[in-house]
Amino acid sequence: MKRLVILDLDGTLVETYSSHLLPNTAHRLKELAQEGYHLAIATNQAGLSWRVWTGKTHYPTPASLSERFHATVAACPELQNHAWFVSVYDPRVKLVENAFQEVAAALTGALQGTLPVLKAQVSADPLWRKPQPGMLFAACRLYTVPVTAALFVGDMKSDAEAAYTAGMDFMQAEVFFAR
Ligand SMILES: [Mg+2]
């Protein structure tokens, strides 16, 4: 019996880089919460770091990403009750460790400064970036659930790899949400 369902964000809950919910998202999450499952979100958001490194304005800022997360919660209020894990690291971005940590702190600040305050943990830890399993372990720790009692739902190979490395079951978003 699974007790924790961890969900990727882009391409799983919403259309990538938007707050537009994909079909069945709201309904299915409400159902899971009613059935007593813990839910968590685990999302790679290194665009912030790419912006700092390249200066290119098509990447998000902490403010614009926070705005997108809040618009997503407005579209699916259920998501406000659950923990968000956000990774800002990317090995392809050549920033010093401190600069990644500043990006993480800036996003944390933006998220805390906007209502409703999300239960979000942001990290620059390389082990948090999927396909590394750090965010999945952090979610299990938060809810005191063994990895064997958790399921990860995502749309990418890196999601499946993170689950595999963590020793956790994985399900494709299209299957999980019956799309
Ligand atoms: Mg995805």
Is the pLDDT at 167 greater than 90? The verdict is yes
Report the separation in Å between the CA atom of 1 and the middle of ligand 1, taken as the mean of its atom positions. 25
Residue 4 pairs with which residues in a beta bridge? 38, 150
The pLDDT of 126-147, averaged and rounded, is: 97
The pLDDT of 98-123, averaged and rounded, is: 95
Q: Is residue 5 part of a domain?
A: no
Phi/psi zone of residue 160: left (φ > 0), alpha (ψ -120 to 50 degrees), beta?
A: alpha
Q: Is residue 25 part of a domain?
A: yes
- What percentage of the chain has pLDDT greater than the value 90? 94
Report the separation in Å between the CA atom of 47 and the middle of ligand 1, taken as the mean of its atom positions. 13
DSSP state of 52: H
Q: Is residue 4 part of a domain?
A: no
Report the separation in Å between the CA atom of 133 and the middle of ligand 1, taken as the mean of its atom positions. 15
Structure tokens at 135: 């965010």
Q: Is residue 22 part of a domain?
A: yes
Q: Is residue 43 part of a domain?
A: yes
The pLDDT of 79-107, averaged and rounded, is: 96
Provide the CATH number for the domain around residue 45. Answer: 3.40.50.1000
Report the separation in Å between the CA atom of 10 and the middle of ligand 1, taken as the mean of its atom positions. 4
The pLDDT of 52-59, averaged and rounded, is: 97
Report the separation in Å between the CA atom of 114 and the middle of ligand 1, taken as the mean of its atom positions. 24
Q: Tell me whether residue 166 is exposed, middle or buried, using C-beta atoms within 10 angstroms of its C-beta: 0 to 12, 13 to 18, 19 or more.
A: buried
The pLDDT of 103-116, averaged and rounded, is: 94
**Which residue segment(s) compose the domain that 53 sits in?**
11-176
Report the separation in Å between the CA atom of 3 and the middle of ligand 1, taken as the mean of its atom positions. 22
Report the separation in Å between the CA atom of 173 and the middle of ligand 1, taken as the mean of its atom positions. 9
pLDDT confidence of residue 1 = 59
| Number of domains the chain is built from | 1
pLDDT confidence of residue 129 = 98
Report the separation in Å between the CA atom of 155 and the middle of ligand 1, taken as the mean of its atom positions. 5
Contact 56, 50 (CB under 8 A): yes
Rounded to whole angstroms, how far apart are CA atoms 94 and 53?
Answer: 7
Q: Is residue 1 part of a domain?
A: no
Report the separation in Å between the CA atom of 150 and the middle of ligand 1, taken as the mean of its atom positions. 18
- Model-level pTM? 0.96
Angle at which helix 62-75 crosses helix 97-112, to 10 degrees, equals: 40
CB atoms closer than 10 angstroms to residue 145: 18
Q: Is residue 6 part of a domain?
A: no
Is the pLDDT at 2 greater than 80? The verdict is no
DSSP state of 60: P
Contact 2, 149 (CB under 8 A): yes
pLDDT confidence of residue 159 = 98
